[in-house]
């Protein structure tokens, strides 16, 4: 028969999937002798069954009852016993930690009788605990709004004229309890337990948990475990405390005990951020022995797990208990430093170090920083909760931030954030909270998302009604700009100048290791010398996509491009083309020089011609107003003629070259002449000429043949040999099916997954996002935006077909990807598995790609 309940000592850390992460860690700690309050776990499978059967199975109920009995025996305490009561915590614990997303009930087991018994030891503590329990139980299990409880507390505090909860008198607390009991009828302990277990199960499917899983791409169907553990109390007086420590600094990775604690408090006081805790070093001043024991224990736990731990502890009358440990979330910066340090300390291997860092998180290391040399009007300093600097408009409402954050730079400013704000946090450029510490919700979540965050900035105030942020005399209204620096904790009025991020030595080391391991090449999407230099700096092995249309849009080119398009005669067109050729040549010369010896892939003109002409509607308006000159009239007619109903599917890419061969010929000539010039200067240009939008092999053959002929002529004339290659983009479903024919014609093919996604889904990239795609992702019609994370079911299958055909036809053909997906971790890993040789992405994403590619190789092994 299947077992639904495991005592801690029956499990170990490998049983995460069954016991949840929290449960498995408690089991593991028990196993290795860490002081853990005794308890047991209801398995995640029970949760899944609970949803299927829409209730708890009789068998499960029986097992839980037995476990309680055993726990009573073990602790010598009894549920509902006034003299020696068993109190337990009931916590969620999923296989993958989802901090703060699901529910927890503490002090379960309290009743009127029990509290009276407890009161004999410490009356204030007893009733305070009871009121906490009723509040939590009422709110979480019975769904009564927390405000109802808080209002009562505030009322009593007013009556007693005190500020803090701790200052309330025993009578005040008792009064609160009485009033709470008018709202909540407290059931007997066993009933409490089962109600709490169901509440925890149900919290798996609350909105914020679902949201969290969606954002973090976590599976939906694995369920949560429930950890039931004997309560210990950090709020028994000043010889008790509770706290959270990290075995290393989770913000910067420094090797030191890092964390915070609160004297005479329970754990949720820290997490909720209602009281600002003290740094952990301060514990030495209160209880040196305990501090040292904590330090030793923490070290032991890290050594055991071989990774940084996030440890929750409670000291009950000077006795240390470890309540939970888990692999610590950390900033990308810390992750990199810790990974590299641990290799140097001999704890983990290089491969392990590479796998320890979330590739996509590197993005935040490349975030800008505030230029400290500039004159800054710092109005406050809070906790540096998530590194990086951000400039944006002050917004107080997370809903508003969620909407406006799509298009504007927003700094979300909150008293404190809660899991309900997560949608607003996700779309903001930076987070500023007035309350809460480094482990508060805002801090944890924004670190996870790589969003700069300054937390616990208590100097500031919010005037909610008038939507003003107040710093002493300074008032910052909604929509005014501020800058926050999540690395230093500074809050700056206005738009501070930001400077580019620099690579840390640890990151350089890690990426060097990654480079040694990875199979895929990493190149850059770069159109300008600046991009190209940045690409080299970030470790690109060449240019995988150089878009010539961006060159066409430069102010000195555009008039010539228009002249070419509007030309009445071939002579006129050729004249414009000749001038453009010279300009393009200069573009390419620069790129070849910077990329000396590396591939420079140049995609010939891609968009439809009308994109280079004046805006149709502006012209049309002029015409309607009768303000159009004869010259403009001519342009207008041409623009009108070139307009398309669906330009994305229109006359563009190689189709343009089939009908107007001279444009590609000009570009190819410019490329080769540039290469010749660079070669004459003693450098080594490696041009790769790329044809976009191929859907039929004859397009490629026709255009390629003409261009090859021209190139041959030039090379013979100049008597130089240039080692050039040709390639085709695969960005249409049909191209995937003729990839064998294509591969026979070229040296490389490159997936343009933006367009391929567009065609495969039939989603217009220009329109879909605002019209329905955001809605789709919000409503989980789609789990991720396919323009951000490569779709495996459709686009991925097409790529597999194409790669198989291409490699079969020409095993030496290089396969690349150069869409947005080329810099996205998940997509890169998939591409590795299906046989893509090269990924190309924007320069800032190159470190991500280098690391993700290495991880893909290790995954494969």
Residue ranges that bind a second copy, judged by CB under 8 A: 617, 620-621, 624-625, 644-651, 655, 658-659, 693, 695-696, 698-699, 702, 731-734, 737-738, 755, 758-764, 766-768, 771-772, 775-776, 779-782, 791, 793-795, 797-798
Nearer to a second copy, 187 or 647 (CB): 647
In angstroms and rounded to an integer, the radius of gyration of the C-alpha atoms of the chain is 32
What is the Cα–Cα distance from 96 to 19, expressed in whole angstroms? 11
CB of 818 to a second copy, least distance (A): 17
Burial of 527 (C-beta count, 10 Å sphere; 0-12/13-18/19+)? buried
Nearer to a second copy, 569 or 659 (CB): 659
What is the Cα–Cα distance from 318 to 323, expressed in whole angstroms? 15
Nearer to a second copy, 738 or 841 (CB): 738
**Which among 412, 14, 449, 39 is positioned nearest to 212, based on CA atoms?**
449
- Cross-sheet strand order for the sheet of 378-381: 378-381, 490-493, 481-485, 389-395, 410-414, 430-433, 453-455, 383-386
**Which among 735, 792, 776, 739 is positioned nearest to 759, based on CA atoms?**
735
Helix ranges restricted to H, 88-206: 112-119, 123-136, 146-160, 170-183, 189-203
What is the Cα–Cα distance from 650 to 380, expressed in whole angstroms? 54
CB of 652 to a second copy, least distance (A): 9
CB of 841 to a second copy, least distance (A): 23
So which residues are the catalytic ones?
Answer: 441, 818
Residue that the structure tokens 């004997």 belong to: 230
Collapsed DSSP state (helix, strand, coil) of residue 43: coil
Element of type H or E holding 512 = helix 505-517
CB of 709 to a second copy, least distance (A): 17
Nearer to a second copy, 14 or 618 (CB): 618
Nearer to a second copy, 51 or 737 (CB): 737
Q: Is 301 within 8 Å of 247 (Cβ atoms)?
A: yes
Nearer to a second copy, 41 or 642 (CB): 642
What is the Cα–Cα distance from 471 to 459, expressed in whole angstroms? 7
CB of 126 to a second copy, least distance (A): 52
Joined tokens for residue 683: 């450098």
CB of 659 to a second copy, least distance (A): 5
Instruction: Output phi, psi for 608, to 5 deg.
Output: -60, 150
CB of 429 to a second copy, least distance (A): 27
What is the Cα–Cα distance from 544 to 524, expressed in whole angstroms? 5
Nearer to a second copy, 698 or 723 (CB): 698
- Cross-sheet strand order for the sheet of 278-279: 278-279, 258-263, 241-246, 309-316, 319-327
State the DSSP code for 92: E
- Distance between terminal CA atoms of the chain? 37
Q: Is 485 within 8 Å of 452 (Cβ atoms)?
A: yes
Nearer to a second copy, 292 or 767 (CB): 767
What is the Cα–Cα distance from 337 to 332, expressed in whole angstroms? 9
CB of 216 to a second copy, least distance (A): 19
The bridge status of strand 104-108 relative to strand 88-93 is: antiparallel
Nearer to a second copy, 433 or 750 (CB): 750
CB of 707 to a second copy, least distance (A): 16
Q: Is 94 within 8 Å of 223 (Cβ atoms)?
A: yes
Nearer to a second copy, 635 or 648 (CB): 648
22: number of Cβ within 10 Å: 26
State the DSSP code for 750: E
Cβ neighbours of residue 490 closer than 8 Å, sequence gap 6 or more: 370, 376, 378, 380, 381, 454, 484
Residue that the structure tokens 């500020």 belong to: 163
CB of 735 to a second copy, least distance (A): 8
């Amino acid at each position: 028969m299947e077992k639904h309940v495991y005592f801690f000592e029956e499990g170990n850390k490998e049983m995460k999937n069954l016991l949840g992460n929290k449960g498995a860690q408690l089991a593991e700690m028990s196993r290795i002798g860490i002081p853990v309050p005794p308890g047991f776990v209801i398995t995640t499978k029970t949760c899944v069954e609970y949803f299927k059967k829409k209730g708890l199975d009789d068998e499960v109920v029986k097992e839980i009852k037995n476990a309680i009995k055993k726990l009573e025996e073990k602790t010598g305490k009894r549920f509902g016993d006034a003299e020696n009561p068993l109190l337990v915590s009931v916590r969620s614990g999923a296989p993958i930690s989802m901090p703060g997303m699901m529910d927890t009930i503490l002090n379960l087991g309290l009743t009127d009788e029990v509290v009276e018994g407890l009161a004999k030891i410490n009356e204030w503590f007893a009733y305070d605990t009871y009121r906490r329990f009723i509040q939590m139980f009422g709110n979480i299990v019975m769904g009564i709004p927390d405000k109802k409880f808080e209002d009562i507390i505030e009322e009593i505090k007013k009556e007693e004229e005190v500020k803090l909860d701790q200052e309330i008198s025993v009578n005040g607390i008792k009064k609160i309890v009485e009033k709470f009991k008018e709202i909540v009828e407290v059931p007997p302990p066993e009933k409490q337990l089962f109600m709490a277990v169901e509440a925890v199960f149900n919290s798996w499917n609350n909105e914020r948990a679902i949201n969290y899983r969606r954002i973090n791409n976590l599976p939906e169907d694995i369920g949560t475990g429930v950890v039931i553990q004997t309560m210990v109390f950090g709020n028994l007086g000043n010889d008790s405390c509770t706290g959270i420590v990290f075995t290393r600094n989770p913000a910067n990775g420094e090797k030191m005990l890092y964390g915070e604690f609160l004297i005479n408090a329970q754990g949720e006081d820290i997490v909720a951020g209602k009281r600002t805790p003290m740094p952990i070093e301060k514990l030495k001043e209160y209880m040196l022995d305990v501090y040292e024991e904590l330090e030793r224990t923490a070290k032991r736990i890290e050594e055991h797990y071989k990774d940084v731990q996030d440890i929750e502890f409670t000291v009950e009358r000077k006795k240390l208990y470890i309540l939970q440990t888990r692999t610590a979330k950390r900033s990308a910066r810390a992750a990199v430093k810790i990974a590299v340090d641990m290799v140097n300390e001999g704890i983990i291997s290089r491969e392990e170090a590479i796998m320890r860092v979330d590739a996509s998180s590197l993005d935040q290391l490349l975030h800008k920083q505030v230029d400290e040399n500039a004159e800054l009007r710092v109005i406050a300093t809070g906790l540096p909760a998530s590194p990086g600097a951000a400039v944006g408009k002050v917004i107080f409402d997370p809903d508003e931030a969620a909407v406006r954050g799509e298009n504007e730079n927003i700094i979300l400013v909150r008293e404190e954030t809660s899991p309900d704000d997560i949608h607003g946090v996700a779309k903001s450029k930076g987070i500023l909270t007035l309350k809460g510490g480094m482990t508060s919700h805002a801090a944890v979540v924004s670190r996870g998302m790589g969003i700069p965050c300054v937390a616990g900035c208590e100097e500031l105030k919010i005037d909610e009604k008038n939507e003003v942020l107040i710093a002493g005399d300074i008032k910052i209204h909604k929509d005014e700009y501020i800058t926050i620096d999540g690395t230093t904790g500074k809050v700056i009025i206005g738009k501070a100048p930001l400077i580019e991020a620099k690579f840390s030595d640890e990151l350089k080391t890690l990426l060097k290791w990654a480079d040694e391991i990875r199979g895929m090449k990493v190149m850059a999407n770069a159109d300008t010398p600046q991009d190209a230099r940045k690409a080299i700096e970030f470790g690109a092995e060449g240019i995988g996509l150089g878009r010539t249309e961006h060159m066409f849009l430069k102010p000195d080119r555009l008039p010539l491009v228009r002249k070419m398009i509007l030309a009445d005669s071939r002579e006129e067109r050729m004249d414009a083309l000749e001038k453009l050729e010279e300009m393009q040549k200069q573009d390419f010369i620069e790129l070849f020089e910077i990329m000396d010896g590396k591939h420079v892939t140049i995609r010939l003109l891609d968009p439809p011609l009308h994109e280079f002409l004046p805006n149709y509607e502006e012209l049309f308006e002029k015409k309607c107003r009768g303000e159009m000159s004869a010259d403009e009239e001519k342009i207008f007619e041409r623009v009108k003629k070139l307009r398309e109903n669906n330009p994305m599917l229109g006359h563009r890419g190689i189709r343009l070259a089939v009908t107007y061969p001279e444009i590609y010929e000009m570009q190819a000539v410019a490329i080769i002449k540039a290469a010749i010039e660079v070669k004459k200067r003693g450098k080594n240009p490696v041009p790769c000429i790329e044809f976009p939008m191929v859907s039929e092999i004859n397009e490629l053959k026709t255009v390629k043949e003409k261009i090859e002929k021209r190139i041959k002529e030039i090379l013979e004339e100049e008597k130089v040999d240039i080692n050039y290659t040709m390639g085709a983009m695969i960005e249409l479903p049909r191209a995937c099916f003729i990839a064998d024919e294509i591969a026979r014609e070229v040296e490389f093919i490159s997936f343009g997954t933006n367009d391929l996604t567009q065609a495969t889904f039939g989603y217009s990239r220009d329109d879909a996002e605002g019209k329905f795609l955001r809605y789709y992702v919000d409503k989980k019609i789609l789990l991720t935006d396919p323009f951000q994370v490569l779709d495996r079911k459709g686009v991925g299958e097409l790529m597999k077909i194409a790669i198989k055909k291409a490699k079969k036809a020409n095993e030496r053909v290089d396969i690349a990807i150069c869409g947005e997906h080329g810099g996205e971790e998940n997509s890169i890993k998939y591409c590795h598995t299906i046989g893509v040789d090269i990924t190309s992405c924007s320069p800032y994403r190159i470190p991500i790609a280098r690391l993700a590619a290495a991880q893909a190789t290790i995954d494969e092994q």
